[in-house]
Chain A
Amino acid sequence: MNLHGKSLLELKQLVIEKKISEKELNQYFLKRIRKFNPKLNAFITVLENNQLGIPYGAKDMFCTKGIRTTAASKVLDNFVPPYESTVTKKLQEAGMSVLGKTNMDAWAHGASTETSDYGVSKNPWDNKRYPGGSSGGSAAAISAYLVPAAIGTDTGGSIRHPSAWCGVIGLKPTYGRVSRYGVIAMGSSWDCPGPMTLNVEDNAYLLKQIAGKDKYDATSSSIAVQDYTNEIKKNKKFKIGIAESYFAGIDDQIKKHVYKSIDVLKKLGHAVKPIKLLPPKYSISVYTILQRAEVSSNLGRYDGIRYGNDRNFFGQEAKRRIMLGTYTLSYGYYDAFYKNAQKVRSIIIENFKSVFKDVDLIVGPNTPVTALNIGEFEKYPFYGELMDQLNEPASTAGIPDLSIPVGLDSNNLPIGFQIMGNYFEEANILNLAYQFEKETDFFGVIKKGINNYKD
């Protein structure tokens, strides 16, 4: 049977109907991984003997019992978790299994995967380019169809950014919608696990499986989880906001495709209106201060005494972040940096809340440029932080945000489009994306990506 390009739910159905066994399914994807992963380096660990369950890729940030989990850092080179993260446990219970642990920036610090101690992943669309990050391995793996779906984590764009650069669908849910238990902590008040898929329905399905209150994560929310796969099929019309401040300094080709996509939304009967959002530069600063502070605290536990290697194994980016975080939290600077950033975080939250009184969703470009060449990040100030500038506002506020592909630029590289929603309104975001998918099929981007990697 030809399995190439089949969605997660289609594969699941084939297994249910016994048209294919789970063993055959796993062998099919293992064969593809063996063929293409040496080139793409999307996986850090591959479960060669996996035979059961519907296979998926989990970012190497999720603790998986008995399976090495490195966070792409040599500090955890030999770490085999004695317990399972809530997300991977829930997916196990839904009949899925981890086929491989995907590559990422070390500790999820970055937007390229080049800070990985296991080598940079390659963008499937052009192997000389970055896949984006930090969940770059996950995005590359599904774009090249090495697994039908993957799970990533997003702190300041780490799901949405690589999804845009690799031309797949990635959702950062509302903070607290999905449990962080067993996810190696980066910025604890920001981290959001979320699904990365080849169509909207798979994304809705996976979100439903992993969302919900978890007694082991006190910051997870008890707000009821919706049946997202049904929600996306409802006929809804939205009021959609567009903020001019999100278009400043954006590549012209990206702008063109984003405006074209907004026209599609208008044609579908949605009302589009301008809104005022604070420029993303403030979110970059808030993110930089608070996230580094949380990093310095979260990475404080790695001393090599109880497990893993000692602090000499930290890479450049982790050390830089620990240093800055330590600085902004230290005596004499706390009020000027950390506390002030927490206050501006309130201002950004209020800004979104007032805008959401007026509109249901906000759309715009996802990244300022398409995938950069490997090595190019050095040229950009702030070590790539500016690549995440359009993603960081939603992270700062804790609202959900989805990235979808809306075309290719002149270099044949995918262009991302983001849809932000109000707190816990993932259903509306996915509904709009589903309508867009039915109308445009994402202009053929996802299919083209898969077809670049034939069996």
Chain B
Amino acid sequence: MKKKVLTKEDILHLAKLSNLKLSDEEIEKYLKQLEETVEYVKNLDELKTDKVSPTSQTTNLTDVYFADGETNERGLKLKEKYFIVKRIM
């Protein structure tokens, strides 16, 4: 028999990590659907990747900062080291 990729316990654990409340029906459904998806993406194993570096940013930007003297006009207004917000109480 084919080894199961995911178990019901896995789904419950993922739901807990994701802070989602799932119905029994959803648990069954996601178990099946996630398994299908995980099976599909295994096609990546057909490619050799051991000598390839990962990409996290497609246009090769690194270390992006605000230019000197530029200010963040869209943030909350500051007075000395405090934020100025509307009165709450």
Contacts and interface: CB of A to CB of B under 8 A. Distances in A.
Contact of A343 (B21, B37, B52): B52
A83 B18 contact: no
A319 B64 CA distance: 33
Among A175, A319, A323, A382, chain B packs the most CB atoms within 10 A around the CB of A323
14 contacts: A189-B58, A281-B43, A285-B42, A288-B37, A311-B21, A323-B11, A323-B15, A323-B20, A326-B14, A327-B6, A342-B54, A343-B49, A346-B54, A382-B36
Contacts of A343: 49, 52-55
Contacts of A170: none
Interface in B29-66: 30, 33-34, 36-38, 40-44, 46-47, 49, 52-59, 61, 64, 66
Contacts of B81: none
A68 interface: no
Contacts of A347: 47, 49, 52
Contacts of A341: 41, 44
B70 A215 contact: yes
Given A219-B61, A311-B21, A382-B40, 4 more contacts: A326-B17, A345-B58, A349-B55, A398-B59
Contact of A282 (B11, B14, B37, B47): B47
A300 to B, nearest CB: 8
Contacts of B40: 284-285, 288, 381-382
A346 B59 CA distance: 11
Nearest to B45: A340
Contacts of A382: 36-37, 40
Interface string B65-80: 0110010101000000
A250 interface: no
Contacts of B74: 83, 216
Contact of A189 (B56, B66, B72): B56
Given A215-B67, A216-B74, A219-B57, A344 B30 contact: no
Contacts of A300: 18
Interface in B8-32: 10-11, 14-15, 17-22, 26, 30
Nearest to B65: A218
A440 B24 CA distance: 55
A216 B40 CA distance: 37
A330 B61 contact: no
Nearest to A177: B59
Contacts of B41: 285, 288-289, 337, 341
Nearest to A325: B18
A228 to B, nearest CB: 19
B37 A423 contact: no
Contacts of B36: 381-382
